[in-house]
Amino acid sequence: MLVGPEAKSFKIHKALLVSKSDYFRKALSHGWKEATEGIFTLVEENTAIFGLFLAWLYSSKLHYVQEEDSLRLLVEACIFADRRGCPEFHNAVMDEIHRYLPEKVGSELFDV
């Protein structure tokens, strides 16, 4: 798997990838060029987001360091999950966003 404009290489088990993603399941089983050549290129994807997805695939946990732009990273991961047909990854990211928001935004967001 080559990801991002710099074509960073990621190794991934096909069976695991297709078990969690409708997009990759279709792409790798319906005669797409990527399926026959064995090389899948995702130039438009962010390598950090794909790395987060890959780590989640193998552990079922999100592994990231909370930083200033963590919410942006999580939102982009959610968009990636939708675009690539990964509902379980989407749900894991949304759960993390729900945990993250009260910590970073504070309780004033939820005052009624």
What does the DSSP 8-state code read for residue 107? G
pLDDT per residue rounded down to tens, the chain (112 residues):
999 999 999 999 999 999 999 999 988 887 778 777 878 899 999 999 999 999 999 999 998 877 777 889 999 999 999 999 999 999 999 999 988 776 665 555 555 5
Asked if residue 100 lies in contact with residue 71, where contact means CB atoms within 8 angstroms, the answer is yes
- Per-domain residue ranges of the chain: 2-107
- The pTM (predicted TM-score) of the whole model is 0.83
Distance CA 91, CA 85 (A): 12
Distance CA 3, CA 40 (A): 8
The single-letter code of the amino acid at 41 is T
Q: Strand order in 2-3's β-sheet?
A: 8-9, 2-3, 41-42
Asked if residue 50 lies in contact with residue 80, where contact means CB atoms within 8 angstroms, the answer is yes
Level-2 CATH architecture, domain 2-107: 2-Layer Sandwich (3.30)
